[in-house]
Amino acid sequence: MSPDDTDTSLRAFRPVGSQPAPRRKPSPPKAAPRPREEARPQDDDEGAGGQPPRRRPPPPRRRAPKGRPGRRLPWWGRALIVLGIWGVMVFAGVVAYFAYDLPEISQVAQFQRRPAVTVLAADGSKLARFGDMRGETLEVSEISPDLVHAVLAVEDRRFYSHFGVDPIGIARAAWTDYRTGHMRQGASTITQQLARNLFLSPAKTMRRKVQEAMLALMLEHRYTKDQILGAYLNRVYLGAGTYGVDAAARTYFDKSATQVNLREAAIIAGLLKAPSKYSPSANNERTEQRMAVVLATMVDAGYITVDQAKAVVNQPAQPRANPAVEGDGRYFAAWVADQVNAFIGPNHGDLVVHTTYDAKMQRAATAHVAEILNGPGVAANVHQAAVVIMAPDGAVKAMVGGRDYDESQFNRATQALRQPGSSFKPFVYLAALEAGRTPDDLILDAPYKRGKWEPKNYEPGYMGEIPLRTALAHSVNTATIRLLESVGIDRAIAAARRLGITSPLRRDLSLALGTSEVTPLELTGAYTAIANGGRAVFPYGITEIRDADDSVLYQRKGSGAGYAISAAEDANLVRMMMGVVQVGTGKSAQLADRPIAGKTGTTQDYRDAWFMGFTADYVTGVWLGNDDGDEMKRITGGTLPAKLWKAIMTDLEQGLPVRDLIPLQPAAVQDQAPDGPAVPPLPTVETAPLDGAPTAAATPAPGVPAVDTSGQVKPEAVQKEEDQDDDKDVPPADTASKPDPIGDLLNKLKKEQ
């Protein structure tokens, strides 16, 4: 045991003479040990030099608030945190899903310009222009302030306030739609529209809308407001193949977008809703109405005063710009433009297409169609028409494809397959002539029945044995069916094919009654072969195609397909068709000063009415009916269609010399022609028109394919604008009669705010 370890009580027995041990300082009392959780290791030098280590006093212990045990959150707090985490994860996933194929906005989509196709009339005047046209790229500061303000007023008046997506505008549009009960206002900002035009398709899907909003935010983050607005104004489509406000200003007003006035600015801004519908070159009335709406919106947005708006509205309407470009010949021009690629291929530059179009004939056809449809056609439930005017060599001179090109671009002259009714009968009689029959051969007009099929004539009663010329002149159904049965269906189909009918034809006896659909264009072409002595033609509208360097890429050569029928048989058929107009169902089409030949046609339930006829100069086909196949009110081919044909041909033949319908034939042909008058006196029977009989009964004879008596083509896919077409924001047509149109519009706009 060391001395230090000896109990102090033993120090009294220390030996005499020994040195006392040095006295040691008493040790300080040991500090109370720290709690385990607050103990910390000492430094290596702590307590060096015999000094006791310094110890920090323990921190005060925090007490938990009363009523809450420790730091533990309640269950609903923890649930909110979990839900928040999951919500962030789901949102991130949704964003990633829609953003994975977003384009890079720094690489702005290049403008893919479609080649320009300029269509010229036969006289060299400009008819139409297709393809894309761009003007100069302008800065916002260079564009007319009136035009900038007009666009902002109608498209996005909060453009300089939002961040690409306008929540206030969305809420306002939703509230307006809720109050009115239908979609009335859109909420896409100019930035969103630019994003859609540059990067996305116009498909109306949720994916596109989400991506549109995301791209709008990205555009707003990277570019200034003026850069975005400038890109929009230079890229937006404004009708007639124009992209950008400068191209539109040059096309419609022949001036730069830097020079347009308030009136012109309002018209251009109004095109954004529906370019074709409100085009100043298509419909002045609609253009003026839309312009008034834009001006009222500018007043409401504070860009102009009420007096300025009224001054513009009270100005007289401007004349239609470039009427030849957007007017009567648009159906013809579109038909021609669709054929260009078939002639020279799809990879081409700008082109100039020379055509057979005659503006004078087109104006006559268009005017008379409007007279019929807006006059007697209203009471007769006739809503559509088609007209084809053709020269004897197959050159299409004019074309009416419908009531109004602005309302429907569907071309009923070239695209609509309709039952021709009795206007198909000349091909049956041609087959009979080719089989050795003559116009004077007799055919029985009596009741006809095969199984459950029992076709009737238009008028009651039967004439018994009648000549073929009489059966055709009066369009006798039972006689024509017996004739087809005797000469053979295949022979009649072959005759129609040689003359130019290309549509499918039914191989049953109902073919005699015109139950197989054809287009007005091909039927007119087939009649042209009859009119020109039996030479088949290819209907055409293009004579030459040149490129931008004036090099010829295509030039029409040749005269047609050659003779399809003999001259003698053609002459006999023409004489029989002259009888249709002289004493038969087509008497309403007679011209006072020259001979004509033709044939009427009416289908079951008066769904279609035709008159196909020709003079020595022109062949014209007329169709009247309704797109949905709705029946007209007892309109046959011998009524309104024959009258329309006569009105058109009267204008076309004015000033032309009178010529024989049948040219002089060789002696052999003269010997074959029957002696006496072209059409002998009729038997003493009822001579009322027999055209327009039902095409066939519901169930034909055994072994005969079922006859579809309702096979009307219903063009359900008629092209319409994808733009909103809401006319409820347009004042009535008699806007000029209102004392204060701008005031009325302003009140209306304020109610919708």
357 versus 189: which is more confidently predicted? 357
Mean pLDDT across the chain: 78
- Quote the pLDDT of residue 223: 85
- 17 pLDDT exceeds 60? no
Mean pLDDT of 507-534: 96
Domains and CATH numbers, the chain: 141-314 (1.10.3810.10), 388-653 (3.40.710.10)
The most confident of the ranges 195-199, 560-564, 734-738 is: 560-564
Q: Which residues contact 167 (CB under 8 A, 6 or more apart)?
A: none
Biggest CA pair distance of the chain: 187
- 539 pLDDT exceeds 50? yes
Residue 396 and residue 751: Cα distance in Å, rounded?
53
- Quote the pLDDT of residue 488: 96
- Quote the pLDDT of residue 420: 97
- Quote the pLDDT of residue 426: 98
- Quote the pLDDT of residue 287: 86
Single-letter amino acid, residue 459: E
Confidence grade of residue 747 (pLDDT, cut at 50, 70, 90):
low
- 486 pLDDT exceeds 80? yes
Contact 278, 154 (CB under 8 A): no
* pLDDT per residue as tens digits for the range 262-314: 999 999 999 988 887 888 876 678 888 899 999 999 999 999 999 999 998 88
Neighbour-count burial of 331, counting CB atoms closer than 10 A to its CB (0-12 exposed, 13-18 middle, 19+ buried): buried
Total Cβ atoms within 10 A of residue 724: 12
Asked which of 43-57, 588-602, 686-700 is least confident by mean pLDDT, the reply is 686-700
In 3-state terms, what secondary structure has residue 342? Answer: helix
With CA atoms as reference, report the closest residue to 373 among 620, 590, 644.
644
Confidence grade of residue 61 (pLDDT, cut at 50, 70, 90):
low
Residue 462 and residue 509: Cα distance in Å, rounded?
20
* HSE of 583, CA atoms in CB hemisphere, 13 A: 17
* pLDDT per residue as tens digits for the range 117-139: 899 999 999 898 887 677 788 89
% of the chain exceeding 70 in pLDDT: 67
- Quote the pLDDT of residue 316: 76
Mean pLDDT of 333-360: 92
With CA atoms as reference, report the closest residue to 495 among 554, 585, 588, 573.
573
With CA atoms as reference, report the closest residue to 484 among 464, 498, 463, 505.
505
- Quote the pLDDT of residue 46: 47
- 742 pLDDT exceeds 70? no
Indicate the helix (H) or strand (E) that contains 581.
helix 567-582
Contact 533, 526 (CB under 8 A): no
* b/e code 132-150 from CB counts within 10 Å (16+ = b): ebbbeebebeebbebbbbb
According to DSSP, the residues that pair with 610 across neighbouring strands are 601, 623
Single-letter amino acid, residue 239: G
- 462 pLDDT exceeds 80? yes
Angle at which helix 167-180 crosses helix 741-752, to 10 degrees, equals 100
Q: Which residues contact 292 (CB under 8 A, 6 or more apart)?
A: 313, 731, 735, 741, 742, 745
Q: Are strands 608-614 and 117-120 parallel, antiparallel or unpaired?
A: unpaired
Strand residue runs (E) in 184-304: 242-243
- Quote the pLDDT of residue 155: 86
- Quote the pLDDT of residue 323: 40
Cα dihedral 152→158→162→167 (10° resolution): -120
The first and second tokens of residue 308, run together, are 């300025």
